[in-house]
Amino acid sequence: MSEQRLNVSYKCFRWRRVRKGYIREHYLFKVKGLDELFGAFAFGDERKVRVYRLLEDSMRWDLVKDFGNKVLYLSSFSSFGYTACTEATANTIRLPKFYGGNAIFYSLRDRKFHSDDGRYSCEDALCLTRLDFATWVMPIIPTNDLITTKWI
């Protein structure tokens, strides 16, 4: 009987470098008061976030450079746009990213990432922590018309 040997070789695969222009994160959402469908895309080099509007007649994406007084809340489980309460939050994108313990947003005005406390401002998101299972919730605040008290 001949002895057979099993030759096993190992090859370690390197992580691929992310190509520039590759879509790393994507979100679909609607903005309150607008009928269009929007998409936000964070690219592989993590230096920019771009927002597009779907043109239904031609089925093409049109680049949106300014959202005016809207703020976008984007995450994997819930994404929506709403009217900003202040001028400072207008034309921004809230993403599930953190720097230390501070929430991060992307400004469409200057195309940079900023922290809520004002201590962080950068053109890329390479050092940020991303929460994959984060979600945005919009509370329903009752107005005087909706509040009814029933005394027993």
Asked whether residue 131 carries a pLDDT value surpassing 70, the answer given is: yes
User: 130, 76, 75: which is closest to 99 by C-alpha?
Assistant: 130
At 15, is the pLDDT very low, low, confident or very high (cuts 50, 70, 90)? very low
Tokens of 64: 């949106």
Cα gap 131→64, rounded to integer Å: 26
Cα gap 53→63, rounded to integer Å: 6
The residues spanned by each domain of the chain are 23-130
- For the segment 32-83, what is each residue's pLDDT rounded down to a tens digit? 888 889 998 887 666 678 899 999 899 999 999 988 888 888 888 888 888 8
Question: Which region, left, alpha or beta, applies to residue 46 given φ > 0 means left and ψ of -120 to 50 means alpha?
Answer: left
Cα gap 86→125, rounded to integer Å: 25
Percent of residues, the chain, with pLDDT higher than 90: 12
Q: What is the mean pLDDT of residues 9-17?
A: 51
pTM (2 d.p.)? 0.71
Instruction: Tell me how crowded residue 106 is: count the other CB atoms within 10 A of its CB.
Output: 22
